[in-house]
A = this chain, B = another copy of it.
């Protein structure tokens, strides 16, 4: 959605505040999968088939690490590792994540501003019947097969919004909550003290885009998670979660039937295509969303 908006509005008109709760330390590398997916997408480097990592990638480092008995359950390509090495060295030398991110973005020609939610370490921890797991161990390591009975954000209480985050939220024409998983992608951002309040402050200009279309998640196990955590597994269930933060809810034509129920929550419901099957559709989807909100 960041790319869609950046294409529709121009790359420097958008600031993306990105989740760091999915970050992990793997083979001694500081990996920030959400930041990296956004930066690779905006830089035109993303492997669009897989939806993560760099295109034309090789995996010789990880294959060697595996042969030598090192960790190998998380997939890192060689080009990707080049980025992680630069970030890890910078963080170890004391550079904040937000500064490293800005440097990496600039080096890749990305004009959209990317801000991690915070510079501190926050880890999304998922409670399952098999015990608590960090996000990536649950999502990648165990292929999100364990039902989720709770989520918490380790370290969030002691974190502060990264430089620029509160200002961006205060000054933006619109605040848009992307169609991501509310529990494990959006909540870890909102859990950083000050961010939820800053979004709520902008409620009249704030918009959420439904990550559920026709009862199915655009990506990942969100529908199951909504059900498991006691919510309705539909765009309506998501709209309820955001009703105190946004005044507008964008949903796909497939869910037009939900408009009255969503408006009954005190939200304006806007119906516009949001499903991007092909990256080439992104600009069109972005324009549609922008026009619908103007």
Chain A interfacial residues counted at CB < 8 A: 34
Q: With A28-B92, A57-B60, A92-B28 as given contacts, are A65 and B86 in contact (CB-CB < 8 Å)? A: yes
Instruction: Work out how many copies of this chain go into the complex.
Output: 2
A64 at the interface (CB under 8 A from B): yes
Given contacts A28-B89, A29-B85, A67-B107, 12 further A-B contacts (CB under 8 A): A27-B89, A28-B85, A60-B79, A61-B78, A62-B82, A64-B78, A65-B83, A65-B86, A68-B83, A68-B86, A68-B107, A70-B86
The binding surface of chain A is classed by DSSP as helix
Residues of B contacting A64 in the complex (Cβ-Cβ under 8 angstroms)? 54, 78-83, 86
Residues of A whose CB lies within 8 Å of any CB of B are 27-29, 54, 57-58, 60-71, 77-83, 85-86, 88-89, 92, 103-104, 107-108
A118 to B28 CA separation, bound complex (whole angstroms): 23
**Are B92 and A65 within 8 A (Cβ)?**
no
**Among A67, A86, A92, A104, residue most surrounded by chain B Cβ atoms (within 10 Å):** A86
**Among A27, A28, A62, A89, residue most surrounded by chain B Cβ atoms (within 10 Å):** A28
Residues of B contacting A69 in the complex (Cβ-Cβ under 8 angstroms)? 86, 103, 107
